[in-house]
Amino acid sequence: MQLVKRRPLPPQLTRVRAGGLLPLLAILAVLLVLVAVRQPDFLAPASLMSFLGRSAPIILLAAGQYFVIVSGEFDLSVGSLVTAQVVVAARLIDSDPSRTWPVVLVLLAGGVLVGLVNGLITTRLRVPSFITTLGMFLILVGAVYLWSNGAPKGGLSEEFRRFGRRAFEDVPVFGRVPYALVVLLVLATLAVLLMRSDFGRILVAVGDNARTAELSGARVRRTRTIAFMLSGLAAAVAAILIGGYSGVSFQAGAGLEFGAITAVVLGGVALGGGRGSVVGAMLGALTLELLFTLMNFYGVSGALRPTVQGAIILFAVAVSSRRSTSR
Amino acid sequence: MKRRMAATAALLLVSLVGCATDEPAATPSDGSSAPPAGAGTGEQSKFFVQADYDNELALLDAAPTGPADKPWEQVLNPKMVDTAKFKKDGPYKICFSNAALNNPWRQVGFKTMQAEVEAQGDRISEFVHVDAEGKDQKQIADINDLLGKGCDALIVSPNTTATLTPAVTAACDAGLPVIVFDRGVDTDCPVTFINPIGGYGFGHVGAEFVSQQMKPGGKVLALRILPGVDVLETRWSAAKVAFDKAQVDVVGVEFTDGDPAKTKKIVNDYIQRHGTIDGVWMDAGAVAVAAVEAFQDAGQPVPPINGEDQLDFLKMWKDEGLTAIAPTYPTYQWRTPIIAALRILDGQQVSDPWKLPQPTITQENLDSYLDPNMPPLHYAMCGCTDLPGYPQRWK
């Protein structure tokens, strides 16, 4: 709140810069060309589909993070939330197929609940979201550690894992369409529709200038809390897909919060809120994943990924703040 | 170019981790004995000690003494030491300072140890366990605390070698028998040091199998958990020697952090980059299943691979008919310290070092280790089937 107040009043509430996606699309196109030169096979439907399927969790997390960031807050808890959910799912399912669907519901509800707590602490207790979600991050890491004694127990059922691992086979043209990709497309469509609804406009307005939004009758605290709940929900879906893809892991969600924030920033969304689109955030995640794939094809060590990610965050934020001060 | 960049990054990682942790005082090899780097395996690890390597490989073929059906009581090349000065009347209070419980291997091991304590219940009046949670400083304090608690014997599983040595020395000076197992310390003051053959043996068995079973001239991917830890460095350095000798093309040596998600991604990356991978070597079996899944999901046959004795891998091996082998770092070694403590307090001779056999699971004996009723993260080589509370305690 303090931060928002200190900023000079931006002229418009919801005007999204025309052509905001263009630079990103250009980067994406360049990366695609580079990939095509190096590894033409990659663009074949089968491997492209599996790439999109594997990227679905981070794209969903970027969308979730977008809701929070565009409303002027941060969510650093999503990575540890994913880890917690995967570990909890393994323990609850304990390799029993009949528990799959109830546990899926528990996870989704759990994600929303964590988001609700984040939102309430941030908006009602006026703790900066950076601190709230960092605290939640540590609480979840500690709780999972305590609960599991540092080693995951139980196991995920094949039924649970298929969401992240299996695909619709023999689809015309595309060949093999991963379930994860279908889940992604459905949720991405819902996210776009949501941002076009009244709620979406209010969310951006709140992030742009909370005071003005409040004076215009928007319920700022409720809107931001809902944004956190959406982020928690996205983390829950991502956890289901990631757990399905790779099985129980104590590091299932490690570093995902930074991946999601990098993607959102790369997607042209302003940190501090008020500017950017959810499509941009999701394309940002896709670009990031494509960049990592390209690095792999050129034999760059995976160990460099965090470095690249850090450089992107710094660069993108620097560029966007130059733009916003010079306009 | 590619390879050089990867190697540089790996070196950087190694040196970073080397700075951050205490280095075990393994004397680096003089370099002249190291085979030439080639074949993509990079420089030999600075943890490599030729004499230890030769010794461990010899132990792989050594015949153990002791009861054949109880490998946790067996010893390779025993060197008995006198313990008469520790003899006293029971029942005893036995204390255990544990480095950590933070992975399934240690969880299974500790349950096995608790069951052994229960089995020896008439001779042990009290068993005190303190978990250092993977922190050196906590373990130093733990050992210090235990010295004031009237323990009749102290068992230590050290977190790191160099840092814990003074604490263990202090415990020896306090006059009670000290037994060290799993990771070692830089002092011979403990009555005995118990561990299986070790990392060179583990790494060698897997690498030899993979290079023999894969198609000639094929590409091998080596997956390691993390650099800079002595027990894991020895595994890799022995594998490197085996791969160099067999002139295998090692296309990558990657660190997985023991994380299935990361492992699956790395293996998938390599399949995409190279088209096919013809052999997979790993320094620990925890992520073997994830590696196998990466091949399945890519619609490719699973190449010869080594895992460990974790049941998820053994089950997959059997179900999918893999070409696989499982060298082990047996969890039954957690039984031995209790047995050793009781023998020492009886004044019986024990071997120092107490080298335990390190069995390998192969296609031939797979069925005898695969119990489908045990949980996926259980270790088959627990030697626990005759202990109280089996199987429920380990589930």
The per-residue pLDDT for B311 is: 92
Q: How far is A317 from chain B (nearest CA, A)?
A: 27
Note if the bond before A152 is cis, omega within 30 degrees: no
The string of pLDDT tens digits covering residues B174-199 is 999 999 999 888 899 999 999 999 89
d(CA B53, CA B26) in angstroms, rounded, equals 12
Q: Which among B6, B101, B262 has the least Cβ separation from residue A150?
A: B101
**Collapsing DSSP states into helix, strand and coil, what is residue B126?**
strand
Stretch A297-301: mean pLDDT, rounded?
Answer: 77
The per-residue pLDDT for B39 is: 59
- Of the candidates B206, B361, B200, the one whose C-alpha atom is nearest the C-alpha of residue B282 is B206
d(CA B49, CA B318) in angstroms, rounded, equals 36
Stretch A160-165: mean pLDDT, rounded?
Answer: 91
Stretch B261-269: mean pLDDT, rounded?
Answer: 86
Which band of pLDDT confidence, cut at 50, 70 and 90, is reported for residue A151? low
- Of the candidates B2, B23, B34, the one whose C-alpha atom is nearest the C-alpha of residue B237 is B34
What is the rounded average pLDDT for all residues in chain B? 87
Question: Which residues in chain B are contacts of A41 at CB distance < 8 A?
Answer: 272
d(CA B388, CA B113) in angstroms, rounded, equals 11
The per-residue pLDDT for A327 is: 44
Compare all CA atoms of chain B with the CA of A292 and give the residue at the minimum distance.
B269
Check whether A306 has a pLDDT greater than 90: no
Q: Cα B169 from chain centroid?
A: 24
Check whether A285 has a pLDDT greater than 90: yes
Stretch A64-86: mean pLDDT, rounded?
Answer: 95
Check whether A11 has a pLDDT greater than 90: no
Check whether B287 has a pLDDT greater than 60: yes
Neighbours of A11 (CB within 10 A): 7
**Which two structure tokens, joined as six digits, stand for B96?**
């255990």
Domains of chain A with bracketed CATH: 20-326 (1.10.3470)
Q: Do A301 and B101 touch (CB under 8 A)?
A: no
**Which two structure tokens, joined as six digits, stand for A89?**
């799912």
Give me the phi and psi of B221, to 5 degrees please. -110, 125
A14 vs B339, which has greater pLDDT?
B339
Interface mutation target, options A87, A93, A249, chain B, most CBs of B under 10 Å: A249
Token pair 């005893």 in the structure block, residue: B92
Interface mutation target, options B254, B269, B393, chain A, most CBs of A under 10 Å: B269
Check whether A23 has a pLDDT greater than 60: yes
Stretch B128-149: mean pLDDT, rounded?
Answer: 94
Q: Do A151 and B375 touch (CB under 8 A)?
A: no
Please indicate if any CB of chain B lies within 8 Å of the CB of A250: yes
Check whether A3 has a pLDDT greater than 50: no
Give me the phi and psi of B81, to 5 degrees please. -120, 155
Compare all CA atoms of chain A with the CA of B260 and give the residue at the minimum distance.
A246
Question: Which residues in chain B are contacts of A297 at CB distance < 8 A?
Answer: 272-273
> What sections of B61-190 are H helices per DSSP?
104-119, 136-147, 161-173
The string of pLDDT tens digits covering residues B223-245 is 998 877 777 889 999 999 999 99
The per-residue pLDDT for A136 is: 95
Domains of chain B with bracketed CATH: 2-61+199-327 (3.40.50.2300), 71-195+330-359 (3.40.50.2300)
Instruction: Give the least confident one: A37-46, B51-60, B271-280.
Output: A37-46
The per-residue pLDDT for B376 is: 83
The per-residue pLDDT for A21 is: 85
Q: Do B10 and A301 touch (CB under 8 A)?
A: yes
Question: Which residues in chain A are contacts of B107 at CB distance < 8 A?
Answer: 149, 151
Stretch B320-336: mean pLDDT, rounded?
Answer: 96
The per-residue pLDDT for A298 is: 82
Question: Which residues in chain A are contacts of B297 at CB distance < 8 A?
Answer: 50, 165
Q: Which among B6, B100, B106 has the least Cβ separation from residue A301?
A: B6
Instruction: Look up the ipTM and state it.
Output: 0.71
Neighbours of B108 (CB within 10 A): 26
Is residue B294 within a helix (H) or strand (E), and if so which, with residue range?
Answer: helix B288-297
**Collapsing DSSP states into helix, strand and coil, what is residue B188?**
coil
Q: Which among B259, B273, B293 has the least Cβ separation from residue A249?
A: B259
Q: Do B375 and A254 touch (CB under 8 A)?
A: no
The per-residue pLDDT for A39 is: 83
Q: How far is B221 from chain A (nearest CA, A)?
A: 14
Please indicate if any CB of chain B lies within 8 Å of the CB of A42: yes
d(CA A272, CA A74) in angstroms, rounded, equals 8
Check whether B336 has a pLDDT greater than 70: yes
Give the rounded percent of residues in chain A with a pLDDT score beyond 70: 91
Is residue A310 within a helix (H) or strand (E), and if so which, with residue range?
Answer: helix A305-326
The string of pLDDT tens digits covering residues A197-248 is 999 999 999 999 999 999 999 999 999 999 999 999 999 999 999 999 988 8
Instruction: Give the least confident one: B41-55, B138-152, B169-183.
Output: B41-55
The per-residue pLDDT for A18 is: 40
For the whole model, what pTM was predicted? 0.77
Stretch A68-76: mean pLDDT, rounded?
Answer: 95
Question: Which residues in chain B are contacts of A54 at CB distance < 8 A?
Answer: 265, 268
Check whether A12 has a pLDDT greater than 60: no
Give me the phi and psi of B126, to 5 degrees please. -150, 140
- Of the candidates B41, B91, B31, the one whose C-alpha atom is nearest the C-alpha of residue B341 is B91
Which band of pLDDT confidence, cut at 50, 70 and 90, is reported for residue B16? very low
A125, A127, A133, A138: CA torsion to nearest 10: -90
